[in-house]
Every structure is written in C-alpha cells, then in structure tokens.
Amino acid sequence: MTVDETLHAPARAATRRARLQEPEAYDFRRPMTMAREHARVLEMAFETFARQWGNQLSARLRVSAQVTFDGLDLCSYDEYVRALPTTTAMVLCTVEQSRQTAVVQIPVGVLMVWVDYLLGGAGKGDEREGRELTEIEMVLVRELLQLALGDLGYAFAGLMPLDVSVRSVQYNPQFVQAVGATDPVLKASFTLRSGEREDHATLMFPADLLLAGLLKGDGTDTRSAEESRALAVALEDLELAVQHVPVEVAVRFTPKTVRPQEVLAFAVGDVLPLEHPSSRPLDVVVDGVVLARAAAGNNGSRLACMVVDVEENL
C-alpha cells in the first residue's frame, strides 16, 4: 500500500459508513428543532423560574431548599413519557391563555417530604411503593405548587403572558395523555434539593405554546443583506427542487362506509353499491387531499380523466 492510499483509507472508510446509515423521516409540519436564540431565551426564563421556585420552597418549608435548572429539550410527548419513571406524580395543569395542558412531574417521595415539612415534621416523608396523596395532602401540595407556578408569569413576563393553574394529579405516566403522542413538547429539567435530599423534576409544555409566543415577539429581521440574499436563493432552490419531486395522483369515487362483518363476508360476484352519483365528477387526490374534480373518459386505448374543477382552498 502506498503512502497516499494509507492517508486516504480512513476517509474512504468513513464515507462507506456514512452511506450505510439509513435516512430518517422528517416531518416538516412538526419540526423537532429549535432556533438557538429561542432556546437561549427560554433557558433564561426557566433559570429565573428555578430561582424563584427555590425561594418559595425555602420560605414555605422552613428548610434550606434550592431548585437548579438543568436543561431544555424538544421532543415528542411519547418520548417524554417513556423517559419518566413507571410511577411518579404527574401534576396536570391548565394554561389559562390557551386552555392547553402542561405537566409538572415530581417523584411522589418528594411531595411526601414537603408535606412532612409543612406539617412541622423533620422531612422523613413516606417511601412506601404505590403510596398516593390523600385529600388533605393534595390540598397542601396544590397550594405549594400553585404558588411556585405563579412565578412562571414573572419569569416569562418579557416573552408572553403565562398563567398556569393546578388541575389534578395522576400517578402512572403511561395512562396520562396530556397532548397527542407525536406532538412536540418542551421539557425543562430541574434538580430539587430540600434539606439533605436531592431529586429531579420536569416541567412540560406543548412546544407550539411557547415557540408561537417567541415567534410572535420576533418583530424585527436581524439578518444582514448578504444573509437575506442567501436565504432568498435557498428558498428558490428549495421551491425548484420540490416542484420536481414525484407524487402519486389518484382518481377515486366518493368513499363508502361498510362494517367489518360485511368486509369479511365479501365473495366473488358480490356487488358493492357506491354512493357516488353517475353525474358527479370523480375526486383527483394527492396524499389523501382532494385537489380537483375530473370527468372519466378515455384517451385512445387507455382510461383517462379530464379536470373540470380545481379546489380553491389549496
């Protein structure tokens, strides 16, 4: 092997490995990326909230308490739930501005320790497996968390109005459907220290709730003239590329609804009446979306259709 071959062998191997990687599907309607400047603004807001939360705990529990913001992640709700413990306290909250659901996830043992402190105890808590809050304990925890969540409005005051109220508590994350399984959510992670105890908690918001507020607040374009030209060229290239992507076009009758028992009883020779008038044009469909109407016919020896109407709401 020559020296040149030796130097280029690792590069060729890396290229081969890259080619073996399977492409991942990307849903442009639900992007799982966040602009760096937006991430930093949200992180600063959650850091402020963490400091305020720690102060609230110290004042109410009468013990040294600290809350540290650990990080912010953008993921799907299903990914968020699968990363949680099998049993934990899922405090469901209502965001008053949009009536959407937010979640404060805290280990049940932490809540028991807080209740013990609130009742004048030494903070021993109750670590019995499957232990749930009683009605009296829930009243104490609700009041404590509501005071903390009130500081979200202060932390996000410069970004958007954010009023969050405690609604209920669930203990099995797998059965809590706060938002759609594939919907993007923002997960803020925190470290809780109460006395000598240290635990971890998370705060989940629907991503569109916070990101829409940030986008609405972006009133100015900070791009330079060169960056604006580069963006215009990139958008033009993207539009040209999309125009040459092959898509499947189908022509269909109006769908008919039948019961499963009818489908299972299908046999050769059966007649299935369609609910499509013979005078009505057929639907021209792309990826399940009706784009136009067409009349059936033929073109030489092949079946064909002639577009007679185009949908206006494209």
What CATH number is attached to the domain comprising 142? Answer: 3.40.1550.10
Q: What is the pTM of this model?
A: 0.60
The reply to whether 159 falls in a domain is yes
Domain CATH for 275:
2.30.330.10
Tell me which residue range forms the domain holding 75: 36-209
Q: How many CB atoms lie within 10 A of CB 95?
A: 19
**pLDDT over threshold 60, residue 291:** yes
Instruction: Judge whether 160 lies within some domain.
Output: yes
Residues paired with residue 164 on neighbouring β-strands, in sequence order: 95
Q: Is residue 26 part of a domain?
A: no
Say if residue 254 is exposed, middle or buried (CB neighbours under 10 Å; 0-12, 13-18, 19+): exposed
Q: For residue 314, is pLDDT > 50? A: no
The sheet carrying 302-310 orders its strands as 249-252, 282-286, 289-299, 302-310
- Do 142 and 203 fall within a single domain? yes
Residue pLDDT, tens place only, 4-32: 555 455 555 555 555 556 666 655 555 55
Please provide the average confidence, as pLDDT, over all residues in the chain.
Answer: 83
